[in-house]
Structure 1
Amino acid sequence: MPLSRRTLLLAPAALSPLLPLRPALAQSHESGLAERGAGKPDAPVTVIEYYSLTCPHCATFHRDTWPQVKKELVTPGKMRMVWRDFPLDQLALAAAQVARALPPAAYEGFVGALLSTQDRWAFNRGADNIAEIAKVAALAGMSRAQVDAAIADEGLRKAVLETRLKGEQEHKVASTPTFVFNNKPAPGALGFERFAQLVGEASGA
């Protein structure tokens, strides 16, 4: 079914009722709310990326910079990357819910596949957006029924929106992608050299 791309109105006042929901969420949502990341937990630097699955700049970073970051900084143990949802519209929110419903081991691959095929499912006017997302999810072992259930899950939806709200409040995130190096936000699709420089500064090197 085609999904509206209407921008989310996520003013803090509108979302304040969501803040106390975390303790009350069903256990089925606990895995979805768990940290999603790549790299050693004890790496000297942790970088947070706030991203939206319908953000072209996020796709640019994933395509042009992330492979080198992963090879030269994450794999050797110099940093850990943590991904946090910051959906910019209703379609991005639905896609984020599907991603969060997958097992953690499948998360990075699924997100990468969606970011690399945005033109097919996010910007193809007239396309059945959810059907296209479901095709990618199927490669990760998720049935269409499971995709629909994830999108219909109100608890999961509220949890994803809570993550976005916390990004706005704690790290002053206003656009995607935004990277946080030791609580210092750096917006935009950073190139590798600038990204590595900020990692070095965060590590004190």
Structure 2
Amino acid sequence: MYLTRRQFIAASATFSALFALPFGRSLSLTGTAQAQTVSSVELMQAGPLGDIVVGRDDAPVTIIEYASMTCGHCATFHNTTYPELKKKYIDTGKVKYILREFPLDALAAAGFMLARCAGNDKYHAMIEMLFAKQKEWVTQNPIPPLQALAQQAGFTKDSFEACLKDQKILEGIEAVRTHGAEKLGVNSTPTFFINGKLFRGTLTIEELDKQLQPLLKS
């Protein structure tokens, strides 16, 4: 089931009802590598909105994560592992990191839309805030807390509502999700590709160490 524009152009009460409708699921798997080969061309193909890269372009290792904003395991990764990954590998020029949108429900898509509307320079800050505060806005009535968080990032009521009606951004996010599912075999979140090698489920920093160290030595 895919998202449609009409899910985002109704009033707040309708938003709340729509955001309660799941159309995917998150799996509680550990970070295990899969014997799957994907095309490097397909893997490095950015969506219509472009990739927002963290780290040096010439870093020897590229990590691509497919995540959903309402995924509890994704929040765990971003709240616990990602800060260590950034400090140890991204900030030191060893890893280039790319987050790609794979919303498993309409509310997750809304979170990604707001991050895109915030602008490239604020995209990851918005993502990290929404993951850190996930329990506050992933509720049966998500609009008030989500709007309050967006206002902390500089949104007004009007810009918040306008963002969730932006067809171009919605279609761009959906294109990334569709490409990931159809071309790369992504079917749960989080899913990682480390230099093309597929991992499903949350990764700890210790598990990342085991994968990254050999790549950095080679």
Normalised to the residue count of structure 1, the TM-score between the two structures is 0.82
What is the aligned partner in structure 2 of residue 13 from structure 1?
Answer: none
Question: Gaps (5+ residues) in structure 2?
Answer: 1-11, 25-46
> Aligned AA for 2:74?
C
- Offset at residue 203 of structure 1 (A): 4.3
The equivalences for 1:1-16 within 5 A come to 1=12, 2=16, 3-8=18-23
Select the structure with the greater relative contact order (CA < 8 A; seq sep ≥ 6).
2
SS at match of 2:198: strand
What is the aligned partner in structure 2 of residue 102 from structure 1?
Answer: 118
The equivalences for 1:46-61 within 5 A come to 46-61=62-77
What is the aligned partner in structure 2 of residue 20 from structure 1?
Answer: none
1:85 and 2:101 matched = yes
The Cα RMSD (Å) is 1.8
What is the aligned partner in structure 2 of residue 42 from structure 1?
Answer: 58
What is the aligned partner in structure 2 of residue 120 from structure 1?
Answer: 136
> Aligned AA for 2:157?
R
Normalised to the residue count of structure 2, the TM-score between the two structures is 0.77
The equivalences for 1:193-204 within 5 A come to 193-203=206-216
What is the aligned partner in structure 2 of residue 157 from structure 1?
Answer: 170
CA contact (8 A) 1:171 1:185 kept: no
Question: Gaps (5+ residues) in structure 1?
Answer: 10-28
> Aligned AA for 1:163?
V
CA contact (8 A) 1:85 1:164 kept: yes
* More helix by percentage: 1
CA contact (8 A) 1:175 1:187 kept: yes
What is the aligned partner in structure 1 of residue 6 from structure 2?
Answer: none
> Aligned AA for 1:131?
P
2: CA distance, partners of 1:8 / 1:158: 17
What is the aligned partner in structure 1 of residue 194 from structure 2?
Answer: 181
What is the aligned partner in structure 2 of residue 64 from structure 1?
Answer: 80
Q: How many residues align?
A: 181
